[in-house]
Amino acid sequence: MKFVHAVEGLSLWVGRAFGWCIMLLTLSVTYEVFVRYVLNAPTVWAFDMMIQMYGALFLMCGAYALAQDTHVRADVVYRLFPVKVQAGLDFFLYFIFFFPGILALVWFGYEIASDSWRYKEVSFNSPASIQIYFFKSLIPVSGVLLMIQGVAELVRCVIAMRTGAWPERLADVKETEDLLTEADMEQIRSVIPGK
């Protein structure tokens, strides 16, 4: 579990760090709307910044989402299975779908990023012709982080197959819906003894 929690800690740290892209994205959109519609002086950089911040956020928070088990999952039937079956199914599916896809992301992402660095690529959609090669470097980096987190998920699956219980994840922020459900359950437990 030390390995799993170390990898989760890395994924959480990277996710939190790149989560600040939301703040930059919000500020740049707000600024652009103000100067465009109030001052009638649109910028040439705000659109590019929005695209780059959203792309960085999307790429670099994938391992964070995997570490927190917050990726979208069609678990209508899956959640009805015992934990050992869930873990075995996850273990199998990681090898069939996850790792080949992530390996392709790393491989082709590296090719794309190295070509971009070689040409000192600029955005042809941008009126400012901003440099984008350093942002393209995030493609293979995000793939490597997802690969490492995927290995930690495999270890988690092995532990669950052996013990019949999913190991605890490192805690981070929670959805409001989950917090309300927990509060409701605490309230029910306080009213109904033994529940």
In sequence order, which residues have a C-beta less than 8 Å from that of residue 112 and are 6 or more positions away?
A: 136, 139
Q: At what angle do helices 2-19 and 46-60 cross, to 10 degrees?
A: 170
pLDDT score for 138: 93
In sequence order, which residues have a C-beta less than 8 Å from that of residue 97 and are 6 or more positions away?
A: none
pTM: 0.81
Q: Which residue, among 51, 123, 39, has the nearest Cα to 31 in the 3D structure?
A: 39
If you compute the radius of gyration of the chain from its CA atoms, what whole number of angstroms results? 21
Tokens 């669950």 correspond to 160
Q: Most distant CA pair in the chain: distance in Å?
A: 69
How many CB atoms are closer than 10 A to CB 50?
16
pLDDT score for 180: 78
Domain ranges of the chain: 2-191
For 2-45, what is each residue's pLDDT tens digit? 898 899 888 989 988 888 888 888 998 899 999 999 999 888 88
Task: Quote the percentage of the chain above a pLDDT of 90.
Answer: 40
Q: What is the dihedral of CA 66, 70, 71, 73, to 10 degrees?
A: 130
- Beta-bridge partner residues of 131: 122
Kindly indicate the confidence band of residue 195, based on its pLDDT and cuts at 50, 70 and 90: low
Structure tokens at 20: 């600040």
| Helices marked H in the chain | 2-19, 21-37, 46-60, 62-67, 83-93, 99-119, 133-136, 138-163, 176-191
Computed over every residue of the chain, the mean pLDDT equals 87
For 37-77, what is each residue's pLDDT tens digit? 999 988 888 888 888 888 888 889 899 999 988 877 777 88
Q: Phi and psi at residue 122, in whole multiples of 5°?
A: -120, 160
Measured CA to CA, the distance from residue 137 to residue 48 in angstroms comes to: 17
